[in-house]
Structure 1
Amino acid sequence: MVNATVRSVQGDLDPGQLGVVDSHDHLFFRSPLLPGQELDDVDLARRELESYAAVGGGTVVQWTPYGLGRRAAELPALAATTGVRIVAATGLHQAAHYTPESLARRADDLAEVFVRELTEGIAGSGVRAGLIKVAGGFHALDTHARWTMRAAAEAHHATGAPIAVHHELGTGALDVLDLLCGELEVPAHRVILGHLNRSPDVVAHREAARSGAYLAFDGPSRANHATDWRMPDAMAALAAGGYADRLLLGGDTTSAGARSVSGGPGMPYLLRRVRPRLEESLGEEGVRRVLVANPARAFAVEWA
């Protein structure tokens, strides 16, 4: 028998308690690749969550990994104040998001860091991470990506936590599956492939879904607006092919200007505007599956 729980920042939850889920977003995020656009204001994070809750949002899965300003210690109070459940991440992003010195400090113990943050908690916060975030490159997996994914697989096997993957411009999903699910023997249903709307390749999407992995479609965003409009058709094609139970939806707010409280679309847009549009393609029940039933399974920590 497999047991499953979702590890929120306030403690473990029955997966059925999540409600409507934003499956990929950021309350806090700081990277040298986005100077001046840091997400680091606690009050703005609270207001964004309140706006999301006001349109029916129940849970946010924050994919911000190690070393990028997660502010994990702030998350339990934000969840308590707003009523929105939050899941935090461990893991490591692409090398470009870090200094060489910070990466060097992690060289020998990366899997150990992931396991510790999943089981004991993120240092200085008391918050246990609920997923492992890693990243590939553009149509390729470089040495850094393979290193982080090996550590993620080791941590998954030790803890049962799911692995969420950033795909640069939506590419490289099949290479990731070959590594994680082939060579490293991570069950495909424990892998969440992010940003697939950014490369609307229906053939690649179908092959990825056939593996049993979850496919996360994240938007809208200024940087990826050229492909965001194709998202409903891409998701409808997968649903029609029998893969409706593999689909997830997220907002992926990574810059200060993208927040709704700062004039951008933000988290509420996912439910105010994206959901009605998807209902035209998937139907109300199909969208309910994407927002409620699928993430309850995808983000569960499993153990025997």
Structure 2
Amino acid sequence: MSFIRTLRGDINPEELGFTYSHEHIVCRPDYWVQRQEGDLLLDDKEKSKRDVEDFKRHGGNSIVDATAVDYGRDVGAVKAISDELDVHIIGTAGFNKSFLWNAKIKEELKPIIGGQYDTFAEWIDGSTIHDLTEFVVREVEEGLEGTPWKAGQVKFGTGYNRISPLEEKTLRAVARAHHETKAPIHSHTEVGTMALEQIELLKSEGINLEHVSIGHMDRNPDPYYHEQIAKTGAFLSFDGIGKIKYAPESTRIHCILELVKKGYDQQILISGDTARKTYYKHYDYGLGLEYIIAKWIPRFISEANHRGFDGEALIHTFFVENPARCFAFKL
């Protein structure tokens, strides 16, 4: 038996349809509020909704909102967008990465956490792995931040070329929450580093890597490295589409097709990690959530066909078949 847990309830995997695997829709991260980094505050529900509406108009069905508790998520606003547009949205339990943990904990969240901690760093440091596991499990089985809307994946993150003790603590908590809930696991890698080290820690917790997706693989455009990750059975998330400041699209497409050539097409996810106003069309004239589905996909199909692949079939694999397997709870 398998199902996918969305903010609107559990659905059959075949109902998920065309899916972006890693986005941020409405969030106000306190870490960036403190630094007056307004570009990183997606704080207007109606503007975010218009971008999701563009995605739907071009044929999109579902979005994974990868915003964890320490990144200032607005669960109610995201759930409202899901309802108003009839788009499936998967919420995320767990944690991000340690440099963000100086963020202040919202007052309304403190009773749910069950402590008098002021920052996420204090909470994670002062809690046991068991305490953190119980929190993540509640967000999957009862609801995010005390709401009735449940998470459909669990997440942890690590830093650039390092895994701090607190990051390892959250990784182990998330792994144990997966064992209890069967929720799929997603990992944040900083600039695509430390994926293999994450995998070794997950193995030590008895995790089947087929239930794990590893983020930001296109930030480290190294085909050899990608192959080593793919050999473990994990999904690789190429979720920086449209971010030319990191690499041209030709580099990302090359890395994806290298994995396809080696037989790993069923482990590839694609998205945009659209987490700035300047990335959104209706905040600040960016490429928007429509970019991948309306503009990038035709280019990918053309390049894949030119190299002898069936581009349209690969798109169906990346955006429909793979998410339906990756984000399923398998009981």
TM-score between both structures, scaled by the size of structure 1 = 0.94
- The superposition leaves residues 238-275 of structure 1 with CA deviations (integer Å, 9 ceiling, x where unpaired) of 01101000000011011112112131112110111221
Within the candidate set 125, 128, 137, 1:115 is matched to 137
Moved more, 290-299 or 275-284: 275-284
Choose the corresponding residue for 1:10, options 8, 11, 22. Answer: 8
Match of 1:300 in 2: 328
Is 1:200–1:227's contact at 8 Å kept on the other side of the alignment? no
**Which of the residues 235, 239, 242 maps onto 2:256?**
235
Superposition pairs of residues 121-132 of structure 1, within 5 angstroms = 121-132=143-154
Residue matched to 1:244: 265
User: How far apart are residue 136 of structure 1 and its match?
Assistant: 1.4
| Superposition pairs of residues 26-175 of structure 1, within 5 angstroms | 26-31=24-29, 32-33=31-32, 35-37=37-39, 38-99=41-102, 101-103=118-120, 104-106=122-124, 107-108=126-127, 109-175=131-197
Q: Which residue of 2 aligns with 1:216?
A: 237
* Residue in 1 that maps onto 2:112: none
Return closer, same or farther for 1:61/1:74 CA change in 2, 3 Å cut-off: same
The residue that corresponds to 1:20 in the other structure is: 18
Specify the SS of the correspondent of 1:46: helix
Q: Secondary structure at the match of 1:27?
A: coil
CA contact (8 A) 2:26 2:77 kept: no
C-alpha displacement of 1:222: 4.2
Give distance in 2, aligned partners of 1:186 and 1:167: 18
Shift, 1:203, TM fit: 0.8
What secondary structure sits across from 1:88 in the alignment? strand
Distance 1:79 1:67, change over 3 A: same
Match of residue 179, structure 1, among 194, 201, 219: 201
Q: Say if 1:65 and 1:92, in contact at 8 Å, map to a contact too.
A: yes
CA distance in 1, matches of 2:249, 2:69: 28
Out of 245, 257, 262, which is 2:278 matched to? 257
Larger Rg: 2
Structure 2 residue matching 1:230: 3-state secondary structure: helix
Provide the rounded CA distance (Å) in 1 between the counterparts of 2:185 and 2:298: 29
Structure 1: runs of 5 or more not aligned: none
What is the CA–CA distance in structure 2 between the aligned matches of 1:269 and 1:221, rounded to whole Å? 7
How many pairs were matched up? Answer: 300
Question: Is contact 2:98-2:164 (8 Å) kept?
Answer: no
Aligned residues: CA RMSD: 1.6
- The one-letter code matched in structure 1 to 2:289 is M
SS in 2 for 1:296: helix
2:210 to 168, 189, 193: 189
Do the aligned residues in 2 keep the contact of 1:219 with 1:228 (CA within 8 Å)? Answer: no
Determine what percentage of the aligned residue pairs are the same residue: 32
Normalised to the residue count of structure 2, the TM-score between the two structures is: 0.87
Partner SS, residue 67 of structure 1: helix
C-alpha distance in 2, partners of 1:40/1:284? 35
The aligned counterpart of 2:291 is 269
